[in-house]
Amino acid sequence: MNIVVLAGGISTEREISIVSGTMACKALRGKGHKAILVDVYCGDSRIDMDDDGQCRRNDGPNDMQGASRRDGGTSALADQWFPEKYNVEAAAAYMRSFDGQIEEMKRTRRGFFGPNVLALCEAADVVFMALHGADGEGGKVQAVFDLMGIRYTGSGVLGSAVAMDKGISRKLFEADGIPVAKGVVLERGDEYGPAAENGVGLPCVVKPCCGGSSVGVEIARTQEEYERALETAFGYEEEVVVEQYIEGREFSVGVVGGVAYPVIEIAPLVGFYDYKNKYQAGSTIETCPADLEADKTAEMQRYAEMAYRALKLECYARMDFMMAKDSSLYCLEANTLPGMTPTSLLPQEAAALGMDFPALCEHLIEVSLEENI
């Protein structure tokens, strides 16, 4: 298949998205697909599009001359957009070359999609979504693709938008009997006093309402830390979630096609599962399948599937959990486009089922196309 692996963007998770996209693109090419790596925001200005839809591209070994817009994905000209020989690392380096320009681009540009992005996505048989964080993971890109008839992996507009908002997710989890920690949503400008007066108390976890990769998340054990954590979280967004801190063990459960994968335990060597511990090699011990009693594994998988349905998710997602010292479970959040490197959590869960990383990437496309024909 001709596949656009869409990554990058402007969220706080841009770099992680590029890593996910690079690995997924390599994996899909290894399976025989003509996959290319594209930055959703920066695009590829090396392609010159004519008024009649013809393009000219000059980037060395990846030249694509005279390609036209896709008509059902079968055009011989369209195939030239997706060359047999392709340097994925060079494509990733091109994406990173824009890193220092993002803020200026945001200031001077009106539109979100970069040069030629939509034309390339239209030309593809499917778009593999390697986006993380706001805009890419929150349903906006999915809405455009739906209107344009572009097929893509992962959840649609509704599920993506709902799952991105941790405040809304909490309410839907509670309504469906999925356990969550005691918490409250605060808006910038709200009158709030000591943590205890918010009904949560100390210690507590403070996090941006729609952030990802634990960016801006802090654990507060004193009122001073609580106030500082709020200041940090409000530096990212207008709304923050304050939740009771659950001391215990952390887990994650992937759900693919509505069916839960094996449970993986996440045990940081120092602190909690923050941005550093997520992405710095050797900082976290991850065990899959998790060392749990069979009934507790089944309970967590059941809650993961319930959360998947409660949020109207499609194709695949990953749910995060805490288990308190008394073995009570608490669902933290859902990730609609989880990290996609061979050492990411969902791929490790798939490996426990005997599915390697390239096979998983291909399987996610198959599931997405089956559910969103």
Which pLDDT tens digit goes with each residue over 257-267? Answer: 999 999 999 99
Q: Given this model, what pLDDT does residue 270 score?
A: 55
Query: Rounded distance, CA 131 to CA 21, Å?
Result: 8
Q: In DSSP terms, which residues pair with 186 in a beta bridge?
A: 240
Q: Given this model, what pLDDT does residue 80 score?
A: 76
- Closest by CA position to 25, among listed 43, 44, 7: 7
Q: Over 80: is that where the pLDDT of 244 sits?
A: yes
Secondary structure (DSSP) of 224-286: HHHHHHHHHHHTT-SEEEEEE---EEEEEEEEETTEEEEEEEEEESSSSS-HHHHHSTTSEEE
Q: Given this model, what pLDDT does residue 48 score?
A: 58
Give pLDDT tens digits for 45-78. Answer: 886 554 444 444 544 433 333 333 444 444 544 6
Query: Rounded distance, CA 15 to CA 23, Å?
Result: 13
Q: Over 60: is that where the pLDDT of 209 sits?
A: yes
Q: Given this model, what pLDDT does residue 292 score?
A: 97
Q: Given this model, what pLDDT does residue 19 score?
A: 96
Task: Answer for the pair 128, 153: CB distance below 8 angstroms, yes or no.
Answer: yes
Secondary structure (H, E, C), 185-236: EEECCCCCCCHHHHCCCCCEEEEECCCCCCCCCEEECCHHHHHHHHHHHHCC
- Closest by CA position to 120, among listed 219, 10, 37, 189: 37
Q: Given this model, what pLDDT does residue 310 score?
A: 98
Domain regions of the chain by residue span? 2-152, 182-244, 248-371
Task: Answer for the pair 261, 281: CB distance below 8 angstroms, yes or no.
Answer: no
CATH number, domain 248-371, options 3.30.70.1450, 3.90.870.10, 3.40.50.720, 3.30.470.20: 3.30.470.20
Please say whether the dihedral angle defined by the alpha carbons of residues 110, 116, 121 and 122, taken in this order, is positive or negative. Answer: positive
182-244, CATH topology level: Dna Ligase; domain 1 (3.30.1490)
Task: Answer for the pair 133, 9: CB distance below 8 angstroms, yes or no.
Answer: yes
2-152, CATH topology level: Rossmann fold (3.40.50)
| Amino acid, single-letter form, for residue 179 | P
Is 318 in a helix, a strand, or coil? strand
H or E segment and range at residue 130: none
- Taking residue 291's Cβ as centre, other Cβ atoms within 10 Å add up to 10
Give pLDDT tens digits for 113-130. Answer: 999 999 999 999 999 999
